[in-house]
Amino acid sequence: MRWCCLAISIVVAAALGAQTPAPMPAPVLVELFTSEGCSDCPPADRLLARLDGHAIVLSEHVDYWNSLGWKDPFSAALFSRRQETYCSELGAQQGPYTPQMVVDGEAQFVGSDAGRAADEIAKAARRPKADVKLTRTAAGLQVEIASAPASGDVWMVLADNRDESQVAAGENKGRRLEHIAVVRSLQKIGTVKRGGAFSHLAELPASAATQRVVVFVQQPGQGRVTGAAMWRADASPSGSQ
């Protein structure tokens, strides 16, 4: 229950704007679907930055705003499709929208809602998780998963630590926007069975030296996330340790 108590205390403090020491993040995956073309998104981007260090966060820029005045340089159709699947699976009747936050593949809500984010992260931290360990080697990233609570797909993400843009058109014209954990690639690297183990040496591009690498286990069909861990060059590996 160590992660549960930690998540409840520090994430609620983060949601309220308190300054707290940065602990190792809980193995809870927080995905934000956002766009530089959306004027409602900057508050959600700032919330995600506040949650960084308290959970494993990812910023996924959708591309369906690109025809409305500003082409988001970090956007990709892949993230729009991923969001569409979540909306279908989680019953978001309004369909894809920004900003949208998804916690552990199980809860979706408006991405700037700090109180809801705190509540959902605390709930997710209570659930059983696979033990995901990441080790950086000269050959790449060694991924070890043990005691998976459910069968699932194993995904690897490369994300920029920080990015920014000077927006020249659209709803955010004239604003300099800052982003955290901007996803640049998402790939499936294998599967794991319930109660089983997984071992894989993943090759990494040269860009990974300045990025964060996130590995997570997700039930098939983009279901619940049952384990997650992160490696980054400027910090120790984190996850369900």
* Summary mean pLDDT of the chain: 89
pLDDT of res. 143: 98
| DSSP string computed for 82-100 | HHHHHHHHHT-TT-S-SSE
- Count Cβ atoms below 10 Å from residue 212 Cβ, excluding itself: 25
Distances (CA, A) of 134 to 41, 98, 146, 189, 225: 32, 32, 12, 14, 17
Q: Which class for 187: exposed (0-12), middle (13-18), buried (19 or more C-beta within 10 A)? A: exposed
pLDDT of res. 92: 86
Q: Are strands 152-166 and 140-146 parallel, antiparallel or unpaired?
A: unpaired
pLDDT of res. 240: 44
Quote the domain boundaries for residue 106: 2-239
CATH code, domain with 59: 3.40.30.10
pLDDT of res. 20: 41
pTM for the whole structure: 0.89
Distances (CA, A) of 24 to 62, 70, 131, 147: 28, 36, 15, 21
Q: Are strands 56-61 and 29-34 parallel, antiparallel or unpaired?
A: parallel
Contact 185, 196 (CB under 8 A): no
Closest CA to 216 of 109, 136, 134, 139: 134
pLDDT of res. 61: 98
Positions in the chain whose pLDDT score sits under 70: 1-25, 235-241
pLDDT of res. 5: 42
Q: Which class for 82: exposed (0-12), middle (13-18), buried (19 or more C-beta within 10 A)? A: buried
How many domains does the structure of the chain reveal? 1
pLDDT of res. 7: 43
| DSSP string computed for 218-230 | E-TTT--EEEEEE
pLDDT of res. 24: 55
